Amino acid sequence: MIYSFPKLLDVVALLFIFYFIWSTLAWFVFKDVGSGEFVTDLANFKNFHFSLITLFRASTGEDW
């Protein structure tokens, strides 16, 4: 199990880079979208922080 931790850190770093790139792109493209059925105060792309959380929620299937 100890030998698998470096590989696990590689996967976590790769996922963070993936989320960083796509949340930055979504932030610039969808920052002016108004609220609606799926876009709420907690799930939106108005800044990088909310964009990252929204993409993580969508990828894990939470509340979708």
| Structural domain total, the chain | 1
Between CA 13 and CA 28 the distance in angstroms is 23
Q: Look up the pTM and report it.
A: 0.77
Question: What counts of helices (H) and strands (E) characterise the chain?
Answer: 2, 0
Q: Tell me: the pLDDT tens digits for 22-48?
A: 999 999 998 888 877 778 888 889 999
What is the domain extent for residue 30?
Answer: 2-60
Asked if the model's pLDDT at residue 10 lies above 60, the reply is: yes
